[in-house]
Amino acid sequence: MRFELTEEEKMMQKMFKEFADQEIAPKAAEIDEKGEFPRENIEKLAENEMMGIVIPEEWGGSGASSLIYVMALEEISRACGTTGVILSVHTSVGTLPILYYGTEEQKNKYLTDLAQGKKLGAFALTEPNAGSDAAGIKTTAVKDGDNYILNGTKNFITNAGEADVYTVLASIDRSKGVKGITAFLVDKDTPGFSIGAEEKKMGLNGSKTCELAFSDAKVPAENMLGKESEGFKIAMSLLDGGRIGIAAQGLGIARAAYEAALEYSKTREQFGRSISKFQAISFKLADMATEIEAAKLLTYQAAKARDEKDPKGGKLASMAKQYATDTAMKVTTEAIQILGGYGYTREYPVERHFRDAKVTQIYEGTNQIQRLVISRDILEKG
């Protein structure tokens, strides 16, 4: 089956690429080197109506399709992995939970500001002893009059310390496992809520990843998202969109590394000719280009399936996430090899792409979890 973009989609893709090249890429190396949160980039995304790209226009967004969102995220991540992950988390798990499950009051309070980039969103599920196993979360929420009192710790939370509102999962009854998990919207200035240590990461250095601490944090009952014990269902319903977003990140990073390696191979000479003329290098480039094209088609197909509410969408999302991010790791590794010693230095961007690529295989469900999801689907449904 041939996957063909419409003229409008091609136009949007071109616009995203030009925007990323002109506005996002120039500061990517500096953001990584200094580890500074890219506020200027986020402001530019907001100015160009990209912070609420998939949010309906009635709530201040652009109302774009998942496919358009994926193309935007691919180009932003190609230009700057840090900016890409901030946008992805803000959109997929920072804003969409409120669109899908929020009350009218919650939407009026949060959604428009999030969609317009006036506020930044974050999502808090992971804990020191609960990652892939969501049932293991120990953060608790106890009803106290018109409030819930939250106690516990979250870690590896993207956008932590910069976000204005956090979707936090806590257990109202730990004996019930996932059936006791409930979601809450927690404002950054909530009494008893604080930001802990920032992680010193391998890559995506401008993205803030911190611990969250809840010490008798008082959250109004009206800030419950959905109903009691629906937290796990809410989290799982967001995963397909989140995984497609991570696939787009991986795809963008892979493209950036491939393009850098291709350009270098054409200009670097050894033994009287460019290294691109050597079969050892040209075959690497051929494999890189092929895997990127395959990852792109799978990612776009998964996005299209989500738009069309295709029953195969969940499996395709996991396939796209797993394949595109594995491809990102392979391509960035080969890019360093093509550049040789220069690839190992910060004089060239491929070492940054390599560091940024690794985590895409881990967050939003490790690639081992993706293979578990895929295998279960094909064994049960064929």
Could you list the active site residues? 364
What does the alpha-carbon distance between residue 246 and residue 43 come to, in Å, rounded to a whole number?
Answer: 22
Task: Judge contact between 194 and 216, C-beta under 8 A.
Answer: no
Residue 209: DSSP 8-state: E
Residue 216 structure tokens: 């008798």
What does the alpha-carbon distance between residue 179 and residue 11 come to, in Å, rounded to a whole number?
Answer: 45
Residue 51 structure tokens: 């912070």
What does the alpha-carbon distance between residue 280 and residue 1 come to, in Å, rounded to a whole number?
Answer: 32
Sign of CA dihedral 261, 263, 267, 271: positive
Q: Are strands 181-187 and 147-158 parallel, antiparallel or unpaired?
A: unpaired
What does the alpha-carbon distance between residue 334 and residue 273 come to, in Å, rounded to a whole number?
Answer: 20
Residue 138's CB is within 10 A of a number of other CB atoms, namely 14
Q: Which DSSP helix (H) or strand (E) runs through 155?
A: strand 147-158
Residue 350 structure tokens: 């491929």
What does the alpha-carbon distance between residue 108 and residue 74 come to, in Å, rounded to a whole number?
Answer: 30
What does the alpha-carbon distance between residue 333 and residue 327 come to, in Å, rounded to a whole number?
Answer: 10
Q: Which residues contact 256 (CB under 8 A, 6 or more apart)?
A: 77, 78, 79, 349, 353
- The phi, psi pair for 273, rounded to 5°, reads -155, 160
From residue 89, alpha-carbon distances to 111, 157, 215, 280 in Å are 15, 10, 25, 39
Helices 39-47 and 81-92, interaxial angle, to 10°? Answer: 60
Distance from first CA to last CA of the chain, Å, rounded?
A: 20
Residues in the chain: 382
